[in-house]
Chain A
Amino acid sequence: MPQLNPSPWFAIMVFSWFVFLIFLPPKIMAHTFPNEPTAQSTQTLKTKSWTWPWH
């Protein structure tokens, strides 16, 4: 069975780790996940009058 033949095992190992370490990390790590934006309330806030407490 040819798939069990380990013949160029070192070349295959070096190449697959080369691909795994050089090409994948920049591609996958470039994904960023911004925080979900919080919806602003549609109601306008009712502000109470402010009395200056030190007067």
Chain B
Amino acid sequence: MTLSFFDQFLSPTLFGIPLIALALLLPWTLFPAPSSRWVNSRLLTLQSWFINRFTQQLLLPLNMGGHKWGPYILLVMVFLISINMLGLLPYTFTPTTQLSVNMALAVPVWLMTVIIGLRKNPTAALGHLLPEGTPVPLIPALILIETISLFIRPLALGVRLTANLTAGHLLIQLIATAAFVLLPLMPTVAILTTILLFLLTLLEVAVAMIQAYVFVLLLSLYLQENV
């Protein structure tokens, strides 16, 4: 019984096809190709608006050297937000609840920022390992701590996304099960639980967007340090 709540995160296969592949592949059919006309469909207008505004917001604090990474960061955002949001639909599988998917995204991206830093301005990149004005006796310990914090970044990025989405999906399932079980026993409590479930679902929609944004924001901050 305790394990069955985690069964929703088991990567399912149907006819030998891993459904994680379909869950990664199919969301992009929701992104139609824009035509060269002035006015497109409503969906396209909304997507264009989002892409335009988001890029503007993202690039505002970034200095000029980081602007050429704008499209790339935008792609990460679109990728994560689509998968997170579609994963909230009932009977769907969410690839971003899998630690392997998130680490596969986070590690190369973090490595990219580190390599850029070491190539472009190695002095500044290594200088980040020691904050200015540190008392001399603290220097060895602080360099050690900063180095660890640098290397723990990709882990934190991946685990943050995984943990948030896993917790959300698990809570939704727990409360839905509670409401279902309570319905014949205590109908009033069951109705209250259903209201709670509805509110929690709203929260999870927000979390799906916020976590995608947090991933991308941290990525842009790491990039900002290194360009």
**Chain A interface (Cβ < 8 Å from any Cβ of B):** 1-9, 12-13, 15-17, 19-20, 23-25, 27-34
In the complex, the answer to whether A3 meets B166 with C-beta atoms within 8 Å is yes
A-B contacts besides A13-B100, A20-B76, 8 pairs, CB < 8 Å: A6-B100, A6-B103, A9-B100, A16-B104, A20-B105, A27-B33, A33-B48, A34-B38
In which size bucket is the chain B interface?
Answer: 35 or more
A3 adjacent to B97 (CB under 8 Å): yes
Chain B contacts for A6, CB-based, 8 A: 99-100, 103
Q: Which residues of A contact B9 (CB under 8 A)?
A: 1-3
Residue of B nearest to A11 (CB): B18
Q: How far is the CA of A6 from the CA of B103 in the complex (A)?
A: 10
Kindly name the residue among A8, A25, A31 whose own CB sees the greatest number of chain B CB atoms within 10 A: A31
B: residues with CB less than 8 A from A are: 6-7, 9-11, 20-21, 24-25, 28, 31, 33-34, 36, 38, 44, 47-48, 51-52, 71, 74-76, 78-79, 95, 97-101, 103-105, 108, 162, 166
**Contact assessment for B25 and A3 in the assembled complex, using a CB-CB cutoff below 8 Å:** no
> Quick one: given A23-B28, A28-B31, A30-B34, are A12 and B100 in contact (CB under 8 Å)?
yes
